Amino acid sequence: MTAHLGKMVRVWSLLVLLTAAVISHAGASQVLRGTGDLGLIIERASGSVVIIETTGQTKLGRVEGLGDLSHASAVFSRDGRFAYIFGRDGGLTKVDLLRAEIAARVIQSGNSIGGAISQDGRLIAVSNYKPGGVRVFDAENLKMVADIPATMKDGTLSKVVGLVDAPGQKFVFSLWDAGEIWLLDFQAGPEPALSKYRNVGRNPYDALITSDGRYYVAGLFGEDGLAKLDLWNMDAGVSRILDGYGRGEEKLPVYKMPHLEGWARAGDYLFLPAVGRHELLVVDASTWREVQRIPVHGQPVFAVARPDGRQIWVNFAHPRNDTVQVIDVPSMTIVKTYTPGKAVLHMEFTPRGEQVWISVRDDDRVDVYDTRTMEVTQSLRAEKPSGIFLTARAGRTGL
């Protein structure tokens, strides 16, 4: 009996050791991590994305097969695990950042220009050039929920630009050809209510929504000025701001459109790129009136605020696109000018602003800068990098 009991104890001990070894091996091979410091870099020439983490400033993986990413952008699921990437070829791709693989993909149009995710994270809207309009998809499986053609009065379709999400399950966008702003409201379910605001100005080219979700502002390429819609008072219609800001001045050739989604708010001011000018417009955020202009190196493309609002980082259009300038907000002066390399396309701050990631397309490189020391702390190789998108965007309206 004693010998039998001893044998059972030895067998049990061996099983415990084997189980511990299996658990230890599994723990070593499966690294658990959150998604809060993750992001991705668009590799526009190869139809791929690089998954990054900002804590160690490293690359975690690469996902291929995303099609034409020449004007790609991305939004994130509420938990930050999935990125929804909008390709220029009409591709909508859901990428699993933790597994570094494609979770779902559809070709939803012939030419797409961006998208947005709804307030509750259940809907993905895509703006299209061809056919002109907006298509909305289930975020889980990418099945289409709604198709909204941007039909103009003459029966033709307009290109759609400036698509953003707004509070209350809404999407707002502009019609380039029609000079209109439309609003889709999904609060009541999959059949959205549609509101149209006509004659807002010639050729709205891009738009922004303020971080509180109240104001939608579209830039106008066909005239000097912007169109503003107050989403708290939609019955008031669209008003004009900065009307005629370039009156009496000759525009420079526009080689790349400014991006209002890269707008900056710092304290009481907004910083907006002026179309066809080497200037940033400084606007009082309470009155929407211009208070100052800051001469800069070239035609601004992105003007991005460091999260604390102390600095504005600006990049520029071709042929002066090798440069980044840093503006000190209290003094409204340029305090630093960098020349990172050929074709600086995008800048992305980490959530607390200690780092800014900058893509240098023609040098196949992404640089990470310490915003306190103004020095490069890391450089990562990437194939023709353009957009850089961090999962912190998941919690922000309009991004």
Nearest 5°: phi and psi at 13? -60, -40
CATH 2.130.10.10 fits 108-254, yes or no: yes
**Sign of the CA dihedral running 241, 244, 245, 251:** positive
Q: What is the pLDDT of residues 149-207, one digit of tens each?
A: 999 999 999 999 999 999 999 999 999 999 999 999 999 988 999 999 999 999 998 89
- pLDDT band of residue 1 (cuts 50, 70, 90) is very low
Q: What is the pLDDT of residue 276?
A: 79
Q: What is the pLDDT of residue 222?
A: 80
For the cut 90, the answer to whether the pLDDT of residue 30 exceeds it is no
- pLDDT band of residue 14 (cuts 50, 70, 90) is very low
Per DSSP, the residues of 361-382 read GGGTEEEEEETTTTEEEEEEE-
Percent of residues, the chain, with pLDDT higher than 70 = 88
Domain boundaries, the chain: 108-254
Check whether the bond before 330 is cis (ω within 30° of 0). no
Query: For the residues 94-101, what does the mean pLDDT come to?
Result: 98
Range with the poorest average pLDDT among 97-106, 253-262, 311-320, 367-376: 253-262
Secondary structure percentages of the chain, helix, strand, coil, to 5:
10, 45, 40
For the cut 60, the answer to whether the pLDDT of residue 395 exceeds it is yes
